[in-house]
Structure 1
Amino acid sequence: MNKDLLLSRLWEQYKSITPSAQKIHALLEQNGETIKNDHIAIRTYNDARVNISVLEKPFVKAGYVAKGEYFFESKKLFAKHYEHATDANAPRIFISELELEKCSEDLQNSVKTLLDGCDQSVFEKEDLVLSGAVWNANSYDTYVSLLEESEYAAWMYVYGFRANHFTINVNALTDFENLEELNAYLKDNNWKMNASGGEIKGTPEQLLEQSSTLADLYAVTFDEGVKYIPSCYYEFALRYPMLNGELYQGFIAASADKIFESTDVKLQRMN
């Protein structure tokens, strides 16, 4: 699968459960903005069948190269980011995985049961990253059980393999001088922002500032009935130049840690 098709399919899948992203996209375009994507984030478990080394394959095949590694100790996550080798305008790819060995035995067993119950050939598919939940995610009790230990694990159980968020490149916008202006504009248009750790994560000194909306609530049908589960969110990134004049290309782990919480049920309840 070539780069453009892969990215296009990720966007179509993402916006199908994140209607706010399409609305924000349209709102900015109506004001004359051209939207460019800074990065796309994807989640997984670190089981050898579905870990980062597996999910990176279609991106590597499409010309992406691994550039940075990040650790999130409190959330038990490891991540890598990728940049395209020849297309500087291509969005970065950010893939994270839950470090199962650091989780409880119950959570480890739950994830193993999910993966063991799948047709194992599904993990060999080139488009696994676009496959959603390839297991039977029909138990709200299982969702709640995972949620008690790891919001990340519970989100993966429901939504599986897909883009967790897309990110608007704020540097490419023309009517907003900084992230504060963009956040204020979004709030004036009734979008709720992730305020965990402050609405803006990072500083100019760190060369990256980020903010994000709270995830949409999406109707999911479980055996126990329909429940509204946080799906995906839209992120906004403003990058600053390094000493050589080029824009910083990486990520700040402490900031990304708080961005992860955009799908947190607890933040939804606070708003």
Structure 2
Amino acid sequence: MDKNQLLSKLWEQYAAITPSAKKIHTLLADKGETIQNDHIAIRTFNDPRINIAVLEKPFLAVGYEARGEYIFESKKLFAQHYEHTTDSSAPRIFISELELEKCSDELQQTVKNILDDCDQNEFSNPELVLSGSIWKSNSHAIYTSLLEESEYAAWMYVYGFRANHFTINLNALQHFEKLEELNSFLEENGWKLNASGGKIKGTPEQLLEQSSTLADLYSVNFEEGLFEIPSCYYEFALRYAMADGNLYQGFVASSADKIFESTDVKLQK
């Protein structure tokens, strides 16, 4: 599988449970915009069977290399971002993992049980990052128990291995110079934005501004019945030039921390 196939499959899988993404894509295309992806984000646990070192493999194989590292203390997350070595237009890849050892014994045991119960051969699948939820367990009660401690863990339990969000590169748009302008356009067309920490996260001084929609609600068929669970969201990023004139390529942990909350059930109310 080459780079374009991998990225296309991630988009198709993401768009299947995030109908707002296609609608926003169409809304901007109808305005004459050509959309470029800034980055694609993926979640996992730091269990050695499925951690970042495992999920990065298909990206390394198609020409990506690791760059920045990020720590999110309050959410107990570690992340790395990747850039393509020869194609500067390729989206960055952002992979985060929940640091299980910092979580409660109950959460650690729940995740261990879920993983132990899987067909262990699944973890060596070269397309694991596209596999979605591979757990045999499908319990709303487990989802709810995870949600009490970590929204991130609960989301991962429901949706598994897939793109958590795609990101529109505002620098490549023709009709929007500022993130405020794009946010207003989206809100005027009925989209709700993540206001945690402000609708715009980051500043020009930090060289990166970000905003995002709230995650779509997707009907998930649990053992106990059908429930609507936040799925994925669409993000928007505006990058600023560094002292050398090149655009900043990394991420701002304090901003990303709030972007993570776009899938939070609490923000849907």
Aligned residues of 1:76 and 1:98 also touching (Cα < 8 A) = yes
Q: Secondary structure at the match of 2:5?
A: helix
Where does 1:224-235 land on structure 2 (aligned, <5 Å)? 224-235=224-235
Please give the alpha-carbon distance, in whole angstroms, between the structure 2 residues aligned to 1:194 and 1:137. 30
Q: Secondary structure at the match of 1:165?
A: strand
Say if 2:107 is the partner of 1:107.
Answer: yes
Please give the alpha-carbon distance, in whole angstroms, between the structure 1 residues aligned to 2:37 and 2:177. 18
% same residue? 74
Q: CA deviation at 1:137?
A: 4.0
Deviations 1:60-85 (A, max 9, x none): 00100000000000000000000000
Where does 1:145-224 land on structure 2 (aligned, <5 Å)? 145-224=145-224
* Number of the residue aligned with 1:71: 71
* Number of the residue aligned with 1:98: 98
Please give the alpha-carbon distance, in whole angstroms, between the structure 2 residues aligned to 1:53 and 1:253. 20
* Number of the residue aligned with 2:61: 61
* Number of the residue aligned with 1:268: 268
Number of residue equivalences: 269
Deviations 1:206-257 (A, max 9, x none): 0000000000000001111100000000000000000000000000000000
Please give the alpha-carbon distance, in whole angstroms, between the structure 2 residues aligned to 1:48 and 1:86. 29
Deviations 1:16-57 (A, max 9, x none): 000000000000000000000000000000000000000000
Q: CA deviation at 1:136?
A: 2.3
Segment of structure 1 superposing worse, 13-22 or 128-137: 128-137
Please give the alpha-carbon distance, in whole angstroms, between the structure 1 residues aligned to 2:175 and 2:63. 33
Aligned amino acid, residue 249 of structure 1: Q
In structure 2, runs of 5+ residues without a counterpart are none
Please give the alpha-carbon distance, in whole angstroms, between the structure 1 residues aligned to 2:94 and 2:138. 28
Aligned residues of 1:128 and 1:161 also touching (Cα < 8 A) = yes
* Number of the residue aligned with 1:14: 14
Aligned amino acid, residue 82 of structure 1: Y
Q: Secondary structure at the match of 2:196?
A: coil
Please give the alpha-carbon distance, in whole angstroms, between the structure 1 residues aligned to 2:136 and 2:15. 22
Q: CA deviation at 1:177?
A: 1.4
Aligned amino acid, residue 183 of structure 1: N
* Number of the residue aligned with 2:126: 126
TM-score between both structures, scaled by the size of structure 1: 0.99
Aligned amino acid, residue 37 of structure 1: N
In structure 1, runs of 5+ residues without a counterpart are none
Aligned residues of 1:137 and 1:158 also touching (Cα < 8 A) = no
* Number of the residue aligned with 2:24: 24
Please give the alpha-carbon distance, in whole angstroms, between the structure 1 residues aligned to 2:48 and 2:61. 19
Please give the alpha-carbon distance, in whole angstroms, between the structure 2 residues aligned to 1:4 and 1:22. 19
* Number of the residue aligned with 1:242: 242
Please give the alpha-carbon distance, in whole angstroms, between the structure 1 residues aligned to 2:198 and 2:206. 15
* Number of the residue aligned with 2:44: 44
Segment of structure 1 superposing worse, 136-145 or 170-179: 136-145
Please give the alpha-carbon distance, in whole angstroms, between the structure 2 residues aligned to 1:268 and 1:111. 26
Q: CA deviation at 1:138?
A: 1.7
Aligned amino acid, residue 32 of structure 1: G
TM-score between both structures, scaled by the size of structure 2: 1.00
Segment of structure 1 superposing worse, 128-137 or 7-16: 128-137
